[in-house]
Structure 1
């Protein structure tokens, strides 16, 4: 039986503790956000196609998604700080494997292990913060913790781009190792012999294994479908069968036991179903477009990793302040109204970005990204309030578990799905351009004449024209992806109105306010 230590940290120990937990949280999220800008460098460094490099990012996120409920169960079973420390030691070992691995599949295994070990720490960190603050100051702890949610994600791409350009992409993992070990050592020293209250709850190993098989199989199918020819590949067809069988079996199993890995019965509640679906689809579009644009700015338009990451720096200006404002105003309004306005704003941003046509114009990207930072900051809070409305406190935490897994997995799916859109639309636009660029068309003469006058031979001029056409077709395909996402967000803005109103009619206690703020902050984690 565990002995419970009630004495909390104070003074410089509390400050050090909060700083370490914030850095640990930022480190896990940073390894997702910063890595996006490195994908072309990773592909070149490992000698693999870009789609295989993307696979290492999406499986990192799937590992993180699956680990989130595991982290909650471990914290109930053996407390927070012991598995938290073990997870960061494992995080350091996984980083070492990624830094040293020359084999692609060994590197992929390291990335999955890195995501899983990092994902375990996400729910534990917030729980540890709340335990160290007295009841009257728990909101301060939540405020400190919330500073480390969106910031690493918005600052990650430019910093990751700088690391890739200046130090080399493997340095992301070399830097992880001392930071992770130092964090585990300091937190272990501060909380040495700290007890916990054990909550006996059976771990649904069968449900975890079935869901892992379904998610990793589905992600592999999405990542490799273009490379392996979709239905023309026996491997893809086999994966489809595995996904269907494991998915159906998982649903039946989860509905048949008392303590499932994820409480999918929550989907019987209209607000949860609509809120969770909107979070899933919205983050799928956002994360996918973010990754696609950062990669294509480098691959198709010649940007460096740093410059491609800097395009997204304006998002950091408003994302966190707007998020703080929405934590305060959401209880005073119907969450459907705030969510709908946010989704319409996202649609406007993507319609705006869908007009991008100048590879050298930062202005065409910076101003929409500034507005997208506002949208990102106001995205999570109203949808979380909508999703949790009408649920008991215990079921609210289970709802956060399920929604967090869905959202993180949706981000992984979105990265691959936007790649599929790009893969399908680029040849279409290139074909349309080629229809006008032939010797019998005057447009051909206008395109090739300046190049011939510059001293290029006809064959060299033709190669240059083809390169420009390939860039133009990639830009058109990117615009198609933004327009498609804008239409999806318009549909989501209508969907949220089918939920029940959420405006509170009774006074809310301090305990309820703290719990809601903690849940909203946890829902913002990547």
Structure 2
């Protein structure tokens, strides 16, 4: 069937189209943010260890990461709306599999495909929305899309906690099904037979498969390292050798192609390398610490899923407003200054959180999380400006594909790495607690009136809580030190001062690029 270019949507169709694409964007990101608060419930529901439940979150994010470059290629090859509609149909089907799954590995496979299909819709949805606006109003379309970028992620944990406590964690997927099918149906009907110019570039399938195997293998290695005792497991040693070999071959393969899956030659540019390192490690620590804290608040400190999610609500207050402010001030100041100040703000936040010592003192978490929301809002814009500086326009979108993939994959790796830190530090603090409270008769424990079994149980509970709090504090302190290092690193990049007056087209393109890196 032939395609037609068609006129832009008008009236109620245009408003409905904007609403559907906004909801589609929020739905995919919400499935990443809300799921974090559900991890202990997922572990209990499937009868698996908590580390395996975290595995289902990290591989969802790997699926999201791999989908970004694929979505861009599909848009160029087939147009945006057909792959977008198909992706949401797959999203609904895999949500149904997740909702019904009772076996872990089938559920894990469905989560990966859910993340991949959702990740396809993010670049496709943005392109679809922007195209429906006339040139002089495209900035409005960019603004509409940006509204749904950070908000679902920051509001996701409390809403996800409420769903888990009230309805059960599987209801996250039951809600996905009608929403995804409605979005696919409405967008398909509104854009029926819509066409456009297409480019017949060959897809680098080998590069995609190799990178997928490397990332999924690395994530499996990190997620199962603590369970299988690392180098004492021949399975993990073999997996590490496999991942190293595949990753090495992938690099050689990508460098040999004219149009590779990812343009890794960009790492030859200083600003890109420094910007991507800061973006990658910054998000790695942010995502890993967020997931670790929300899980430990439930499993160790006795918070419900809803209360643990509410701890992160302060981040939503300033995250989006600060992102809007940074979109403007980055045009007038050197991105190195803004990035360095923002990274130091993260360092201050995590040093502050490393003093957490009272599980019942909500203010010890509220104020640092408020600051973290401010820093999150200003995190992506200056680093995106830094890594794109000096690149020709035709290479900037390739740089964004690479940056988006690596940033999301780093978030998944960060979740696993923070679990490793917690696993390594907890025994040390357990030993210290036992040494400092060797006598059950110590007054602070108030165990004199209990029998031996009750006293031992209470002692073990107090020791477990103490070791986890101190291990969390260690992780926050290490993150604070790492952010100080990143704040220094960005000054080794070339300055990025830009004129105050730039064309409206260039301004819009830059803002769209910044939003792409903020997604998911």
Instruction: Sort the TM-score into its range (normalised by shorter chain).
Output: over 0.9
1:193 maps to which residue? 193
| 1:373-522 equivalences in 2 (<5 Å) | 373-439=373-439, 444-447=440-443, 450-453=446-449, 456-505=450-499, 507-522=501-516
CA distance in 1 between counterparts of 2:503 and 2:421 reads 48
Q: CA deviation at 1:499?
A: 0.5
The CA RMSD over aligned residues, in Å, is: 1.1
Report if the CA contact (8 A) 1:42-1:169 is conserved: yes
3-state SS of 1:452 partner: coil
Q: CA deviation at 1:136?
A: 0.3
| 1:29-48 equivalences in 2 (<5 Å) | 29-48=29-48
Q: CA deviation at 1:520?
A: 0.4
Deviations 1:296-323 (A, max 9, x none): 0000000000000000001001000110
1:254 maps to which residue? 254
1:326 maps to which residue? 326
CA distance in 2 between counterparts of 1:405 and 1:367 reads 31
2:304 maps to which residue? 304
2:339 maps to which residue? 339
CA distance in 1 between counterparts of 2:82 and 2:430 reads 56
Q: CA deviation at 1:196?
A: 1.6
3-state SS of 1:451 partner: coil
CA distance in 2 between counterparts of 1:450 and 1:86 reads 62
Q: Is structure 2 residue 368 aligned with structure 1 residue 368?
A: yes
| 1:104-119 equivalences in 2 (<5 Å) | 104-119=104-119
2:349 maps to which residue? 349
CA distance in 2 between counterparts of 1:437 and 1:151 reads 45
In structure 2, runs of 5+ residues without a counterpart are none
Q: Is structure 2 residue 239 aligned with structure 1 residue 242?
A: no
CA distance in 1 between counterparts of 2:470 and 2:21 reads 43
In structure 1, runs of 5+ residues without a counterpart are none
Runs of 4 or more, structure 1, over 4 Å off, are: 1-4
3-state SS of 1:196 partner: coil
CA distance in 1 between counterparts of 2:290 and 2:66 reads 22
Report if the CA contact (8 A) 1:448-1:465 is conserved: no
CA distance in 1 between counterparts of 2:130 and 2:269 reads 29
Report if the CA contact (8 A) 2:3-2:193 is conserved: no
1:523 maps to which residue? 517
Q: CA deviation at 1:507?
A: 4.1
1:293 maps to which residue? 293
Q: CA deviation at 1:201?
A: 1.2
1:203 maps to which residue? 203
Q: CA deviation at 1:437?
A: 2.6
CA distance in 1 between counterparts of 2:198 and 2:146 reads 27
3-state SS of 2:442 partner: helix
Report if the CA contact (8 A) 2:95-2:177 is conserved: yes
Report if the CA contact (8 A) 1:342-1:379 is conserved: yes
CA distance in 2 between counterparts of 1:145 and 1:506 reads 25
Deviates more, 1:444-453 or 1:196-205: 444-453
| 1:143-222 equivalences in 2 (<5 Å) | 143-222=143-222
Deviations 1:207-259 (A, max 9, x none): 00110110000000000000011001111011101111000000000000100
CA distance in 1 between counterparts of 2:209 and 2:373 reads 37
CA distance in 2 between counterparts of 1:451 and 1:434 reads 15
2:5 maps to which residue? 5
Name the TM-score, length of structure 2 as normaliser: 0.99
CA distance in 1 between counterparts of 2:453 and 2:96 reads 48
Closer/same/farther in 2, CA of residues 461 and 74 from structure 1, 3 Å limit: same
Q: Is structure 2 residue 269 aligned with structure 1 residue 269?
A: yes
CA distance in 2 between counterparts of 1:311 and 1:506 reads 39
Give the number of equivalent residue pairs.
520
Deviations 1:490-515 (A, max 9, x none): 00000000000001148421111110
Name the TM-score, length of structure 1 as normaliser: 0.98
Report if the CA contact (8 A) 1:37-1:157 is conserved: yes
Q: CA deviation at 1:458?
A: 2.7
Q: CA deviation at 1:436?
A: 2.5
Report if the CA contact (8 A) 1:452-1:458 is conserved: no
Report if the CA contact (8 A) 2:2-2:193 is conserved: no
